[in-house]
Every structure is written in C-alpha cells, then in structure tokens.
Amino acid sequence: MISKKMEKSLNEQINKELFSAYYYLSMAAYLQNSNLDGMAHFMKHQAEEETGHAMKMYSYINEQGGRVILDAIEKPRTDFDSPQQIFELGLAHEKHVTASIHALVTLAIEEKDYATKTFLDWFVSEQVEEEATMDSIVSKFKLIGNAGQALLMMDAQLAKRGE
Ligand code: FEO
C-alpha cells in the first residue's frame, strides 16, 4: 500500500510524464514541418518513452492498491527558434523532471516507503541517461551550429535512434 500523499504525488508525476510526451511530440511536429525527419524521429521516439514512463507509474499505483486519477495536460509550446533551441529546451525539461523524481524519492524516504523508493530507483537512473543524451546533442549543436550542412548531418545522426 502507498499513502494518500504518495498516491497524489505519483499521479502528479504521471501528468508530468504525459506532458513530457506532448511537449516532445510538439517538438517533433515542428521539426517534421521543417523537413528535419531524423530529428523529428528522435523526438517522436522520446515522446513514446515518456508515455512509457507514465504507464510504469500507472501500473505501480494500481499494484499498490492506489487509484490513478488523470488530470488535464498543459498545452505545449508549438513554436521554436531553431533545432538547437529545441534540444536546449529538451535538456532544461529533463533537468526539471529529474528534480521532480528526486522530490518523490525524498518523500518515499521520509515516509519509509521502501517499495516506492525501490520502484523510483529505475527513474533516477533513467534521468541520468536522458540528461546525458540531451546534453550530448546540445554540445554537438554548439560545435557545429545551425547552418544547412551541419543540420543535415545532425538530422542523419538522430535518425538512427532506436535502430
Ligand atoms: Fe520521463 Fe524524460 O523523463
């Protein structure tokens, strides 16, 4: 069993993960419209992963006898200045998600809820990976810029995600 407070916090995290999916899908749509299919593929893949994160939380709440309550998902941003900005926003967003996962871990420890703490360990590792992935892409953009040829190179590279 999980506490009511933990149930509410995990439900809030489901909303954040679903918003993440929506946000990345909005980025994918923008990139697709800019004919950067590889980058759009990367972001669609990311959006699917975020839905997967939400579903992990959904299953866990149910396994623990809690109740999933879905809330409205915030409207994502739809316009961006450049592909580099999109990945910078992605990195900033992942840092924000990491902070909220860490807050959940802190709550689990405070409540001596070791089952939830163990469940959340996977998310802690996942966030390290997600931040590292975004950070590496942002670093590459900083090296090569947003000019035509550089963009096409990045597009080809990011098309490979999930292969
Ligand atoms: Fe589910 Fe990218 O955090």
Return the CATH number at 132.
Answer: 1.20.1260.10
| Mean pLDDT, the chain cut into blocks of 10 residues (163 residues total) | 97 98 98 96 97 98 98 98 96 98 98 98 97 96 87 92 78
Q: Measure 3 CA to ligand 1 centroid, in angstroms.
A: 24
Crossing angle of helices 4-33 and 37-63, rounded to 10°: 170
CA distance to 78, 121, 149, per residue, from 25 (Å): 10, 26, 25
Residue at 151 is within a domain: yes
Is 66:10 a contact under the CB 8 Å cutoff?
yes
Instruction: Report residues whose beta carbon is within 6 angstroms of any ligand 1 atom.
Output: 17, 20, 50, 53, 94, 97, 130
Q: Measure 135 CA to ligand 1 centroid, in angstroms.
A: 14
Q: How high is the pLDDT of residue 3? A: 97
pTM here is 0.95
> Rounded CA gap, 10 and 83, in Å?
32
Residue at 163 is within a domain: no
Q: Measure 86 CA to ligand 1 centroid, in angstroms.
A: 16
- Give the number of domains in the chain: 1
Q: How high is the pLDDT of residue 80? A: 98
